[in-house]
Amino acid sequence: MHARTDADAPPSWPDEIFAVLERFEVRQVPYVPDAGHSQLIKRVLASSAMRGIPLTTEEEGVALLAGAWAGGQRGVLLMQSSGVGNCINMLSLIPILRFPFLTLVTMRGEWGEFNPWQVPMGSTTQGVFELSGVHVLRASHAAEVPAVLEAAAAQAYNALTPTAVLLSQRLIGAKVFTK
């Protein structure tokens, strides 16, 4: 099991995600912070082409992306698995308005989880998406992140296929709690 520690060198996959988003001309990046997204959020906030938009709850991001589409911009929603449950009713906008939906979800409650409170929502994240009509792709290893992102962005923006990429806890590293 890989555990996150401050001593680790930063991984390269968040930068690779950023590069794919740049190439697809993503402009609006709503997010509820998660440690697994912190490096990507920093890149977004430092970017002149993308706008990072902190949310109070994840469902705001679904509605925001509908508005962005009406205004001709692409967006991507960054959140943690627990936030997926907060989105459920708002996900109904996606088939109704048929706008390109891409979300990147950092997973908790799976590989080596310490906190039992993360497990119920982490266990149902994929099912919730699939029941809501959102296709799920998963990246479990750093080497596969660029190809998964590329495929997800292509099908979301080119084919209007609502897509969630689950960035697995195995990829991110289980959060370590120390006293």
Partner 1 sequence: MSKTNLLDRRRVVAALLANRKDVVAIGGLGASTNDITAAGDHARNFYLWGGMGGAAMIGLGLALALPKLPVLVITGDGEMLMGMGSLATIGLQKPANLSIVVLDNERYGETGGQTSHTSAVADLVGVAKACGIPDSRAISTMAEVEAFAASVHDVSAGPRFANVKIDSAELTRILPTRDGTYIVNRLRGDLGFPPI
Q: What is 101-154 written as a DSSP string?
A: -EEEEE--SSTT---GGGHHHHHHHHHHHHHTT-EEEEE-SGGGHHHHHHHHHH
**One of 12, 38, 57, 115 touching partner 1 (CB under 8 A):** 57
- Regarding 58 and contact with partner 1 (CB under 8 A), the answer is no
Give 64 or 166: the residue with its C-beta nearer to partner 1.
Answer: 64
**One of 2, 23, 98, 141 touching partner 1 (CB under 8 A):** 98
CA pair distance 166, 16, nearest whole angstrom:
15
Task: Please tell me whether residue 51 adopts helix, strand or coil conformation.
Answer: strand
Give 33 or 112: the residue with its C-beta nearer to partner 1.
Answer: 33
**One of 1, 9, 48, 72 touching partner 1 (CB under 8 A):** 72
- Regarding 124 and contact with partner 1 (CB under 8 A), the answer is no
CA pair distance 90, 18, nearest whole angstrom:
26
Residue 55 φ then ψ, to 5°? -110, 160
- Regarding 79 and contact with partner 1 (CB under 8 A), the answer is no
- Regarding 9 and contact with partner 1 (CB under 8 A), the answer is no
- Regarding 32 and contact with partner 1 (CB under 8 A), the answer is no
